[in-house]
Structure 1
C-alpha cells in the first residue's frame, strides 16, 4: 500500500473513531497487542539478532519490556487520563463552568529509528492508541528483519482501519511526510528532525521529536569510581553504543583519571571477556556505512595523539568494533565534535569543574547528562548550572524505563515528551469547554456606558 493510500484509509475513519473508540475499546486493542508480542517473542529475538546481533537479554530489557510496560501502565491509568477535568473559574469567569476534555488528534505518523527498532516503533504506538488515534508506522529500512516483523505483528494483532505499517526507504518517508497527518512522532538524528519539522510545518501538523546529541558525563571529586565505571560501561557499550542516551564522553578530575580508566578496562573485561567479539553479550554495528564512520573517527583521534586505553579492534565484515576507551584526545577531532553513537568512549581529565559546566552550557543541549557524585551540594550545583533533556545521578540509561517521568529532549536534542501520561498528552488535544451558567457579562457588551466603564474598572482591580 502506498503512503498516500495508507493515510487516506485511516483518516477516513477519524470522525467515527472519535465517537466510538472509547477507553474500554482502547484497552482491548492494547491487550491484543501485548498478547501478540508475548506470542512472538522468538520472532522478535530472531529479527533483532539478524539486524543488530542483539543478545537475548538486551532484547528483553530494551525492546520488549519497555513496550509491555508501556501497555500495562497506559491501560492501568487510561480511564483517569481520558476523563474530562473540571477547572476552577478565575475571578473574571465567575458564573462559568470550565472543563478540559482530552481528544485524539486524529491520524498520526510514527517514524522509528534503527537502533531500537522494535521498542521505538511500538512504544509511541501504545501512546497513540491510548489517546484514541489511528496510526501509520514507518519502521527503519536499515533494520529490515525487524521492519518486516513489525509489519507482520501489527497486521495480525490490530484492526487494519486503526494501524498500518508502511515499509520502505527515504522515498517512502518523504511521501508520508507530504500527507496531512495530525501529529508526527519522529525518533532519529537532529539533522533529519529538522527535515521532519519543516515538512510538518507545511500542513501545520504538531510534532514530537526524540533526537540525540552528545550526552556528557561528569565525575565529581569523591565519586565512587568503581560504581561509576560499571554504570558507564553498561550505558556506553549496550547495543554497541548505538543508543541516543548513551554516555558520549566523560569528564573526570585529573587525579582520578588513572583509577577510572583502570576500572573501565576491568569492567569491559568483566562484561565481555578478553575477546568481546566472541562474547554473546555484545551487539554489532548496524552496517558498513556506520562502521566506516566510527572507524574513521577513531583512526583520526589516534593519529592526532589520543591514547588507546582499551579496545580499538575492528572488523568491517563482522560489523564489529570493540568496546574502546581513549584519553588525551585532541579537541578538534570528530569524536569531540559529533555525536559518537558507537562503542568509543573518550575520557577527558579536567582541573576546573566550572570550565566543564560552562563548556556544556555553551554547546547544544544534550538529551541526557550524567553526574557521578556523593556530595549533595555538587549535585545541586550541576543541576542548577546545566540544561538537558534529563539528568541521571549515579546512573545511566535507566530513566528511559521510568514511566512516571517524561522522556524527551530540549533544543537540538528534541521537542516534546513521551512515555506514560506524557505520551498520552503528546497524541491528545486538550479541548477546553466553557459553559455559561450565570456569568454577568451583559454590562460589558456594547453600547458601552458609564456603568460598563465602572464595572470594567472594578473587574480590573479584582484581577490586577
Structure 2
C-alpha cells in the first residue's frame, strides 16, 4: 500500500489524485494538482499582497499569527485525524505536530517585534561617532517552502511561521505524498482572517522547480541528494537557500551513563514516527563497560512496543513501499556482513507498509545501517572501548545534523558534545533540541545549510539586511572629499593606523 498519488498515465497536471492511507490502503482523500504554468501567476499575487503585510509591522502581523494559533488549537483534533489517515501514523506520533507549531507561534508572537527591530551599531573608530549606524531587517517578498512528508503539518508550518512573521509572503509546496493536511492548514489561515500572503502549490518535481524559479528565498527540507538539486536550480537566479537535509544522528553512551534512561531514550529516539524523523537516533555507540546492560534494556523496551496506526500504538506505518525497501536493504546488508538481529528484522504479515522495530548488534561502519540514512525503525548498536573511539566514529559520517551524549557527569558530557561535528547535541536526552524554540536548528556537512527555525535567526534568515548610515551632525561633513595632497594623505594614514591599533595593543599586553 502506498501514499504516493495515483495519477493516470496520460493525465495532465490539473488532474485530481487519490491519496491512500499507507497503513490500510484505504482512500484518505483527493487533491488537485497545481499546473506548473500557474505558479508564476500565484507568485505575482503573493508579491502584491506582501507589501501591505510588511507595512503592518511586526506588531500587526503578530496579531494575525496569534489568531491563527488559536485556530490551530481549536482544530487540533480534525488536523490529527486527517494526519493519521494520510500518513498511517500512530495517534502518539500525530499528537506531536500541532503543539510544536503552537510553541513556535507563541515564541514568535512574543518576540518578533524585538527581533526585527532596527539594530543600532556603535562606531568602529572615534572620529566615526558623528555617524549613526542602523541595521534594518527588510523581508524578502516571497519565500518558497518545499516541505517533506514525514511531518506534513509541523514541517510545513514551522518554516512558514518564521517567514510570515518576518513580513514575507509564502508559497508552500507540500510533499506530493502528503498533500491533504496542507489544504486544512490553508483553510485555517483564511478562516482566521489572515490576508492572502500564504498559498499552496500542489504537485511534484515540475511544481517544485516552478516554485524555486518564482521565489526570492527557498527553504527546503528533505534528502541531501534532492537538496543539492534544489540549490543548483536556485543558483540559476542566485536565489538564497536554507536547507535542512538528511541525518544519521549518533548517540553516545558513556561508561558512567544512567543506562536505563539511555535505553529508554534510544528506543524512543529510534522508533518515534517509525524512525522517519530527521533527528532520530540512527546509530548508538556504547562503551564496553555498560554495553551488555544497555543492549538488554533496549531489547526489553522494544519488545513492549505496539505497532499500528491510530490510538493505542507506539508507532505507525512507513510512508510507502519505497521506504520499506530501504529499511529491508539496510537490514539485509548488515546481516550479510555479520550483524545480528536481536528483535524485529522483518516486515509483519497483513496489510500496510509496516516494518518491525529492529535492534541490530555486532555492527560496524562497513554496513549501510551505520553510514547511510535509513529513515526507518532500526536501531544499530556498536560497542566501543573509549570515549575517543565513540567520538571518532560519530564524526565519521557525511552527515552532521544532531547527536546525543549520555553521562551522569554533565561537565564531561558537555565536553564530549563540543567534540561532535553537528548542528545540535542533546545531553541525557534525544530530539529535545527541536523543542528549543529560542535557539536555531540546523545541520553541518551534507545535513544542511543555515539555521532552520528558532531564535531571532529563524526570522532574520528571511530578511535582507540594509545598513543606513546617517549623520548625527553636519560638523566635519565632506572634510576629506578629494583632499589628496601628500600632507593630508600622510596625516590621514597616521591617524587611521593609530586609532585602529589602540585596542589590539591593549589586548596584546
Deviations 1:99-118 (Å, cap 9, x if unpaired)? 12222111111111101110
- Equivalent-residue separation in structure 1 for 2:396 and 2:336 (angstroms): 28
Show the counterpart of 1:444: 480
SS at 2:456 equivalent: helix
Flag the 1:276–1:14 CA change in 2: closer, same or farther, 3 A. closer
Inter-partner Cα distance in structure 2 for 1:7 and 1:315: 46
Q: Which residue of 2 aligns with 1:50?
A: 85
2: CA distance, partners of 1:255 / 1:279: 36
CA offset digits 1:385-427 (Å, max 9, x no partner): 2221101110001110111121111221111111232211111
Structure 1: distance between partners of 2:399 and 2:320 = 28
Tell me the residue number matched to 1:313: 346
Using the TM superposition, give the Cα deviation of residue 14 of structure 1 relative to its aligned residue in structure 2, in angstroms.
4.2
Counterpart pick for 1:286 among 319, 331, 334: 319
Measured at CA, do residues 16 and 375 of structure 1 come closer, stay the same or move farther in structure 2, by a change above 3 Å?
closer
Aligned-partner Cα distance in 1 for 2:344–2:187: 39
Shift of 1:160: 5.7
1:461 alignment partner in structure 2? 498
**Equivalence map 1:29-68=2 (5 Å):** 29-61=64-96, 63-68=97-102
SS of 1:321's equivalent?
coil
What does residue 368 of structure 1 align with? 402
Which of 445, 454, 457 pairs up with 1:422? Answer: 457
- The one of 279, 284, 288 aligned to 1:250: 284
Report the Cα distance in structure 1 between the residues aligned to 2:312 and 2:286, rounded to whole angstroms. Answer: 29
Is 1:119 matched up with 2:154? yes
CA distance in structure 2 between the partners assigned to 1:148 and 1:161 by the alignment: 15
Residue 4 (structure 1) aligns with: 40
Tell me what 1:405 maps to.
439
- Asked whether 1:178 is paired with 2:221, we answer no
Q: Structure 1 residues 197 and 233, CA, compared in 2 at 3 Å: closer, same or farther?
A: same
Residue 342 (structure 1) aligned with residue 376 (structure 2): yes
Q: SS of the residue aligned with 2:289?
A: helix
Q: C-alpha separation between the residues in 2 aligned to 1:287 and 1:215?
A: 23
Higher helix fraction: Structure 1 or Structure 2?
A: 1
Q: 8 Å contact 2:283–2:379 — kept in the other structure? A: yes
- Structure 2 unaligned residues grouped into runs of 5+: 1-33, 502-509
Separation of aligned partners in 2, 1:133 and 1:364: 33
What does residue 173 of structure 2 align with? Answer: 138
Q: Distance in 1 between matches of 2:494 and 2:429?
A: 56
Question: What is the deviation of 1:441?
Answer: 5.6
Report the count of equivalent residues.
Answer: 459
Per the TM alignment, residue 51 of structure 1 is displaced from its structure 2 partner at its CA by: 2.4
Which of 98, 115, 124 is the aligned partner of 2:133?
A: 98
Q: CA RMSD in A?
A: 2.1
Q: Cα–Cα, structure 1 residues 366 and 84, in superposed 2: closer, same or farther, change >3 Å?
A: same
SS at match of 2:495: helix
Q: Do the aligned residues in 2 keep the contact of 1:389 with 1:410 (CA within 8 Å)?
A: yes
1:231 is aligned to 2:265: yes
Deviation at 1:249, TM superposition (A): 0.3
TM-score by length of 1: 0.93
Segments of structure 1 that go 5 or more residues without pairing to the other structure are: none
Comparing 363-372 with 134-143, greater Cα deviation is found at 363-372
Match of 1:303 among 336, 354, 362: 336
